[in-house]
């Protein structure tokens, strides 16, 4: 079963998601330039919406970090009463000596970002504390600083790493791997997945797919020229004390995401109550996801104008992005959002006639525009009604 989300969201002048030059991201689609918001940006905004909502407890969530040494060391210090320097040394020894491919690099950071359940941080600290008498000596140099420096000259990095791993007890290494690889019943990790190149058996197949949002119309970049004045300048001083430009645009975006109910259920280890909460949180979070780029300067906090949910019992999910291959054009007295809605629903009707509606168990939408001319779409009064209708169709709530 797949749950498709189709969203139209019109943003006022903004720079929500920047490229490496600081300009709003864009792309070519249908032969014209479009505004774009990356899927990664939207996923991040959705996860932030989870944090602000009431669907999950903080300990049920995951965190993405390279600063595992710092947070585990802090736990050892605050919860288990270990001295800060020793706590850090023991944590580094654990990561480097375990052979898990998560060695601490420069500034005590792991070599790549790790997406871990928050409970793993507490579990790692407890693990080190419980095995302190074995782990702590592994972090201490066997000889003085001079002997250690001389040893580094004589040994290659590979040999040194091998020595650390051989000194780490195998039974502890196996237990540590169980802790770090854990991903059971973590909603955001189950939704968005995890890939760790060194340990493919730790990978989690994402239950959701999120497309890059693209504007339904051709877009042109604008420039905001700004100046700032020093408020303590002398009266006889003219001109600004700072100036610059910021690129921005304004666009109506088509957003698309699809959720695989069975994959999510598998990732959550068939926990029905958590499954229902996660599906509802994903639907609501997708609607509430607004990127944070340049919001302090432009405050483009515009909610979706149109939200369509499609539940498919079987068959392939379908993006409706091609509804906008021919860019929407609106004259001065026409509503760009309304024309985008018409294009999307018209294209949906064409796909339904071409491919049929077999396997579709529910179609519901909420929008601010006039009634739909597409008979397959059930019109409801609010976004909450869309959520409720979708959960019923997905067999996660009673009618």
Q: Does 221 share its domain with 125?
A: no
The better pLDDT of the pair 290, 363 is held by 290
Which pLDDT value is given to residue 145? 45
Q: pTM (2 decimals)? A: 0.85
Which pLDDT value is given to residue 358? 80
Which pLDDT value is given to residue 147? 44
Which pLDDT value is given to residue 315? 86
Tokens of 80: 């288990």
Q: Does 264 share its domain with 158?
A: no
For the segment 204-231, the average pLDDT, to the nearest whole number, is: 94
Which pLDDT value is given to residue 365? 86
Say if 243 falls within a structural domain: no
Which pLDDT value is given to residue 356? 86
Span of 215-224, 320-329, 379-388 with lowest mean pLDDT: 379-388
Which residues have C-beta within 8 Å of that of residue 234, sequence separation ≥ 6?
A: none
Q: Does 118 share its domain with 171?
A: yes
Q: Does 121 share its domain with 10?
A: no
Q: Is the pLDDT of residue 361 over 50?
A: yes
Provide Rg for the chain, Cα atoms.
26
Q: Does 13 share its domain with 87?
A: no
Percent of the chain with pLDDT over 70: 91
Question: How far apart are alpha carbons 281 and 268 in whole angstroms?
Answer: 14
Q: Is the pLDDT of residue 266 over 50?
A: yes
Which pLDDT value is given to residue 161? 54
Which pLDDT value is given to residue 129? 95
Which pLDDT value is given to residue 29? 97
Which of 154, 185, 216 is the C-terminal boundary of a domain?
A: 185
Which of 185, 214, 240 is the C-terminal boundary of a domain?
A: 185
Say if 399 falls within a structural domain: no
Say if 45 falls within a structural domain: yes
Say if 106 falls within a structural domain: yes
Q: Does 80 share its domain with 211?
A: no
Say if 193 falls within a structural domain: no
Q: Are 113 and 65 in contact (CB under 8 A)?
A: yes
* Residue the block writes with tokens 């003085």: 144
Say if 76 falls within a structural domain: yes
Q: Does 44 share its domain with 77?
A: no
Which pLDDT value is given to residue 362? 85
Q: Does 69 share its domain with 210?
A: no
What residue numbers bound the domain in which 103 lies? 64-185
> Residue 35's beta-bridge partner residues?
26
Q: Does 225 share its domain with 357?
A: yes
Query: Measured at the alpha carbon of residue 324, what is the angle toward residues 291 and 252, in degrees to the nearest 5?
Result: 35
Q: Is the pLDDT of residue 32 over 80?
A: yes
DSSP assigned state of 61: S
Tokens of 114: 């790790």
Reference 348, options 286, 306, 393; nearest CA is 306
At 142-187, the pLDDT tens digits run 434 444 555 555 455 555 555 556 678 889 999 998 998 888 889 9
Q: Does 77 share its domain with 24?
A: no
Domains in the chain, number: 2
Question: How far apart are alpha carbons 218 and 96 in whole angstroms?
Answer: 52
SS3 call for 307: strand
Which residues have C-beta within 8 Å of that of residue 302, sequence separation ≥ 6?
A: 9, 10, 11, 12, 290
Q: Does 362 share its domain with 284?
A: yes
Say if 331 falls within a structural domain: yes
Question: How far apart are alpha carbons 67 and 48 in whole angstroms?
Answer: 19
Q: Is the pLDDT of residue 238 over 90?
A: no
Q: Does 10 share its domain with 95?
A: no
Q: Are 344 and 306 in contact (CB under 8 A)?
A: yes
Which pLDDT value is given to residue 53? 82
Say if 244 falls within a structural domain: no
């Amino acid at each position: 079963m797949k749950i498709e989300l189709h969203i139209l969201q019109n943003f006022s002048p903004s720079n929500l998601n920047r490229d490496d030059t600081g300009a709003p991201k864009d792309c070519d689609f249908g032969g014209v330039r479009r505004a774009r918001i990356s899927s990664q940006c939207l996923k991040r905004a959705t996860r932030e919406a989870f944090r602000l909502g009431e669907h999950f407890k903080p300990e049920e969530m995951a965190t993405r970090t390279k600063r595992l040494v710092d947070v585990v060391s802090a736990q050892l210090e605050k919860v288990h009463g270990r001295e800060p320097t020793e706590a850090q040394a023991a944590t580094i020894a654990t990561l480097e000596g375990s052979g898990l491919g998560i060695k601490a690099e420069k500034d005590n950071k792991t070599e790549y970002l790790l997406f871990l359940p928050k409970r793993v941080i507490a579990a790692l600290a407890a693990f080190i504390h419980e095995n302190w008498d074995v782990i702590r000596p592994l972090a201490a140099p066997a000889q003085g600083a001079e002997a250690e420096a001389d040893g580094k000259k004589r040994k290659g990095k590979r040999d040194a790493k091998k020595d650390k791993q051989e000194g780490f007890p195998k039974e502890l290494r196996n237990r540590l791997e169980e802790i770090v690889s854990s991903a059971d019943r973590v909603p955001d990790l189950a939704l968005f997945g995890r890939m760790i190149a060194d340990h493919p058996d730790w990978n989690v197949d994402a239950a959701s797919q999120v497309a890059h949002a693209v504007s339904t119309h051709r877009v042109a970049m604008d420039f905001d020229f700004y100046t700032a004045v020093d408020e303590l300048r002398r009266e006889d001083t003219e001109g600004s004390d700072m100036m610059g430009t910021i690129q921005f645009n304004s666009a109506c975006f088509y957003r698309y995401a699809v959720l695989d109910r069975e994959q999510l259920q598998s990732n959550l280890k068939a926990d029905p109550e958590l499954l229902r909460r996660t599906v509802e949180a994903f639907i609501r979070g997708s609607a509430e996801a607004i990127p944070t780029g340049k919001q302090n300067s432009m405050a483009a906090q515009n909610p979706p104008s149109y939200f369509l949910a499609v539940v498919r019992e079987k068959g392939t999910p379908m993006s409706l992005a091609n509804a906008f291959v021919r860019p929407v054009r609106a004259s001065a007295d026409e509503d760009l959002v309304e024309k985008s809605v018409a294009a999307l629903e018209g294209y949906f009707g064409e796909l339904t006639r071409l491919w049929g509606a077999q396997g579709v168990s529910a179609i519901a939408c909420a929008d601010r525009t006039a009634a739909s001319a597409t008979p397959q779409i059930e019109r409801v009064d609010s976004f909450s009604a869309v959520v409720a209708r979708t959960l019923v169709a997905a067999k996660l709530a009673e009618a």
